Structure 1
Amino acid sequence: MALDQQKLETALQVGRNSPYLQFSLHLFETVSSTNQILWDLLAQGAEPGCVVIATEQTAGRGQWGRQWISSAGGLYLSVAIANGNKAAENTTAFCLPKLYATNSYQLTLATAWGIAQQLRNCDVPVGIKWPNDLILVSRKLGGILTETKIHKGVITQAVIGVGLNWANPVPETGINLQMWQANQQTKFVSCLETLISTVLIGIESGIQCLLQEGINILIYRYLELLMNIGEKVYVNNTVGTIIGVANTGELRVRMETSEHKSVKISEIYLQPGTISLGYCHSSD
């Protein structure tokens, strides 16, 4: 599935009113991992805004070191984000705020919100499953992997990887966009190049929101699209209710425990990776 770079650049030009980042596009059919290829390019002197795009990965990476199944026909891309010093030399670069390593999830939340919102602008009703999954009709449409370089506990450089199901085979809990569009009267995303443009504009808008409007506004917008609010979860054999997400990415859960004929209500924060939230099966 060859990608048309001119078609993609035209879609980006049409879709962006005021570009915030100068994208440098590198298109492939098959790579080991778009994140790894991008890190290699950065080591060779590539600038922030460098993007690696492929329709298949042979060694895709997911969260917590898991393998990301990246069959042919999907969309896999990675974007490089600058640190403050590098961005100062290039006014078109994303300039990271002073983010500590423990707050790297702010970049993931920003990306998830930006892509989901941009797809919703195209009438594709995408939601977010905490912390980094994109959901369509209760099934997984895609995911995000943020990798960083750290110096003295502060993020100096980041690569944001996105995997999105376009026409690739998916498991029962997944869905690809062409599968969903086949049941719609309108084809909202006309081609893979349009989808890539939509995703890149979404990443751009999400990071721009984080940098210009701040984490509080970003979290507010993220929560509007979060599918997990009100969901019941079990923590140490005690039931709790998801009520939100903290600025640093932790899941906020309200716990209710009975003590001496009274109910004690408390709130706990769960780190990403400490609890797994499932998918609701849907016949849609």
Structure 2
Amino acid sequence: MELDQQLVVNALKSEREYTDLPYSLHIFDSLSSTNQTAWDLLNQGAKPGCVVIATQQTAGRGQWGRQWVSPSGGLYLSVGISPKLIAADAYQLTLASAWGIAAQLRKCGVSVGIKWPNDLVLDGRKLGGILTETKVHKEQITQAVIGVGINWSNPVPQTGINLELWQKFQNLRPISCLEMLTSTVLLGIESGLECLSNEGIGILLSRYLDLLTNMGDQVYVNNLLGTVVGVTPQGNLRLRMAAYDTQELITPEISVEPGTISLGYCKSSV
């Protein structure tokens, strides 16, 4: 499957107030990793806004060192940026990107939600995910690469869903082609980062929580039951814990870092 660069550019320009694009597009049929290629370009002097796109990855990277299985037919995209953030707030880039992409897809009629911390979900199954990597100097982020994988027409596991098939079952086609999906994702990342920069983490977080599918879910931490009540500005999951003492029920709140617990997916035979 090949991407038509001119169709991507035309779609981006049609949705933007200004026709000058803040991106330099680098499109490939197959790469080992779009994130790695983006880092290579940045190291070679590419300016922030360089975008690497492929429809297949042979060594895709997921969260916490996991492999991201990236068969042909998906959208795998990475954007190199230079954010003005301290290292401790790095996860805000993931929150911003997740909200921005989900919100942009919802504008197109695709009812996407967010599963903490970095997954995009559709009908309870995984549509895509985000991996943000950073370089830090003196506790400041100097460069970052935001990587996104979205299932378009590629095969998916039972816990996944691809957008082309979902649209067929819904008898809808709000996203007509892979080029339009690419444009939608890029515009989503841009709008998310703009919200973070211009409105601040408070506004962004409230919008992220509006689309979070885990609110009210119950999860066990160290054999204690907790209820999801929110997310911290650093991306940690806020849980209200139910615990008994000899006198009364107390409900202390804790937060857990991404990667320490899994909220899981239900498998589907659809």
| Bucket of the pairwise TM-score, normalised by the shorter protein | over 0.9
Residue 104 of structure 1 corresponds to: 90
Residue 54 of structure 2 corresponds to: 54
In the TM superposition, residue 185 of structure 1 has moved relative to its aligned partner by 2.2
Choose which of 172, 182, 207 in structure 2 pairs with 1:196: 182
In the TM superposition, residue 282 of structure 1 has moved relative to its aligned partner by 5.3
Which structure 2 residues correspond to residues 197-212 of structure 1 after superposition, within 5 A? 197-212=183-198
Residue 229 of structure 1 corresponds to: 215
**Contact 1:20–1:204 under 8 Å retained in 2:** no
**What does the per-residue CA deviation read over 1:130-157, in whole Å, with 9 as the maximum and x for residues that have no partner?**
0000000000000000000000122111
The answer to whether structure 1 residue 260 and structure 2 residue 232 are counterparts is no
Which structure 2 residues correspond to residues 82-101 of structure 1 after superposition, within 5 A? 82=82, 96-97=83-84, 99-101=85-87
Name the Cα RMSD after superposition. Answer: 1.3
Structure 2: how far apart are the matches of 1:15 and 1:6? Answer: 14
3-state SS in 1 of match to 2:191: helix
**What does the per-residue CA deviation read over 1:161-207, in whole Å, with 9 as the maximum and x for residues that have no partner?**
00000000000000000110111222110000000000000000000
Letter of the aligned partner of 1:187 in structure 2? R
Structure 2: how far apart are the matches of 1:156 and 1:103? Answer: 13
Quote the sequence identity (%). 64
In the TM superposition, residue 281 of structure 1 has moved relative to its aligned partner by 4.3
Choose which of 154, 159, 168 in structure 2 pairs with 1:182: 168
**Contact 2:8–2:179 under 8 Å retained in 1:** yes
3-state SS in 2 of match to 1:230: coil
Letter of the aligned partner of 1:221 in structure 2? R
Residue 88 of structure 1 corresponds to: none
**Contact 2:158–2:268 under 8 Å retained in 1:** no
The answer to whether structure 1 residue 44 and structure 2 residue 44 are counterparts is yes
Residue 16 of structure 1 corresponds to: 16
- From the superposition, tell whether residues 40 and 74 of structure 1 become closer, same or farther in structure 2 (CA, over 3 Å): same
The answer to whether structure 1 residue 240 and structure 2 residue 241 are counterparts is no
Letter of the aligned partner of 1:210 in structure 2? L
Structure 1: how far apart are the matches of 2:2 and 2:264? Answer: 34
- From the superposition, tell whether residues 185 and 272 of structure 1 become closer, same or farther in structure 2 (CA, over 3 Å): same
Choose which of 127, 134, 139 in structure 1 pairs with 2:113: 127
Residue 73 of structure 1 corresponds to: 73
**What does the per-residue CA deviation read over 1:42-62, in whole Å, with 9 as the maximum and x for residues that have no partner?**
111111100000000000000
The answer to whether structure 1 residue 64 and structure 2 residue 64 are counterparts is yes
Letter of the aligned partner of 2:55 in structure 1? T
Structure 1: how far apart are the matches of 2:269 and 2:214? Answer: 19
In the TM superposition, residue 17 of structure 1 has moved relative to its aligned partner by 2.4
Which consecutive segments of 4 or more residues in structure 1 shift more than 2 A? 17-21, 280-284
- From the superposition, tell whether residues 207 and 14 of structure 1 become closer, same or farther in structure 2 (CA, over 3 Å): same
Which ranges of structure 1 fall in alignment gaps of 5 or more residues?
83-95
- From the superposition, tell whether residues 57 and 264 of structure 1 become closer, same or farther in structure 2 (CA, over 3 Å): same
Structure 2: how far apart are the matches of 1:18 and 1:238? Answer: 52
Residue 100 of structure 2 corresponds to: 114
TM-score, length basis structure 2: 0.97
**Contact 2:132–2:144 under 8 Å retained in 1:** yes
**Contact 1:21–1:49 under 8 Å retained in 2:** no
In the TM superposition, residue 100 of structure 1 has moved relative to its aligned partner by 2.3
**What does the per-residue CA deviation read over 1:214-257, in whole Å, with 9 as the maximum and x for residues that have no partner?**
00000000000000000000011010100000111110000011
Residue 278 of structure 1 corresponds to: 264
- From the superposition, tell whether residues 248 and 205 of structure 1 become closer, same or farther in structure 2 (CA, over 3 Å): same
Structure 2: how far apart are the matches of 1:30 and 1:151? Answer: 32
Which ranges of structure 2 fall in alignment gaps of 5 or more residues?
none
Letter of the aligned partner of 1:78 in structure 2? S
TM-score, length basis structure 1: 0.93
3-state SS in 2 of match to 1:119: helix
Residue 145 of structure 1 corresponds to: 131
